[in-house]
Amino acid sequence: MKLKNIFLRNCSNCRIICASQQFRARDCKSLYLFLHCLTKPTIEACENIQVACYSFFYSQLSDQFKLAGLTVFNNSWSQVYDFGGAEGTQNWSLLDPVSIQYFGLDIHLSVVPRTLGVRTDQSIETGLVIFFPDGNREKRAKAYIREMAEKSVSLIVVCSLVATKEFMMKEVEAMQIFKTDSYNSIVGRGPVIAIQHLGPDCIKKSHQAAKTIALETGSTGLVYVPSNPEIAMEQIKLIFNSIDLPQEKFSSPTIANKEITESIE
């Protein structure tokens, strides 16, 4: 069964963890929301709404996401749209990441990767990694996210996870992103997973972590990491701002490994 919509109305003083394709709240106040939402969450006539990324885990949860037609990599939780919000008023805010620990939520075990959301300072160096379809892309992507988290042991060198996205990349989109047709033959074989991190020396750290994961899983030719910060930022804007997400979960065909050009060296 696909879980399409969650609609809250006349709720107050609640803490809610939920995952769905669409989330709406109306006539609510004083809510803590931990969301996984494919589309932008919407609120109307609400007050004091604090929003955070979905963080939860139990042994069957990953399978339940798949049965519900949801991918853990597509989460628009921070892009809240306030219907009818008066100009100059702020009816919602992003929950401070430090505060999440007080709710007893372990972000490291969470099935859904915890992302920073739209509050990110885009002036800081940002890194991009793209995992192409090979039957193991989801496993590689999750391993890469863990690798980056484990390497960020100091606040001085931390690289934070900003956004993730799983989508079918069209050939015309691949041409726009990579400026070459070298990837056209592989993007049509299944969804790709794009991951954005941000922090000091992030390009180098992303490249090292992606190469480690790729080598451990057998091929470097199915992972793309740009080495130029300007190119990375341009590609991130195209991927995360210009390409629309599908409304339902897509199938993920398994294919044989095939090396492609201009990947990790």
| 99 CB-near residues (< 8 Å, 6+ apart) | none
Q: Is 23 annotated as a binding residue?
A: yes
Task: Name the packing angle between helices 202-216 and 137-151 (round to 10°).
Answer: 130
CA–CA distance, 221 with 204 (Å, rounded to integer): 18
Beta bridge partners of 49: 31, 92
Closest CA to 80 of 106, 30, 119: 119
Instruction: Please answer whether residues 53 and 96 qualify as being in contact, where contact means their C-beta atoms are separated by less than 8 angstroms.
Output: no
Tokens 């892309």, located at residue: 137
Q: Is 60 annotated as a binding residue?
A: no
Q: Is 22 annotated as a binding residue?
A: yes
Q: Is 21 annotated as a binding residue?
A: yes
Which positions make up the binding site for GTP?
21-24
Which positions make up the binding site?
21-24
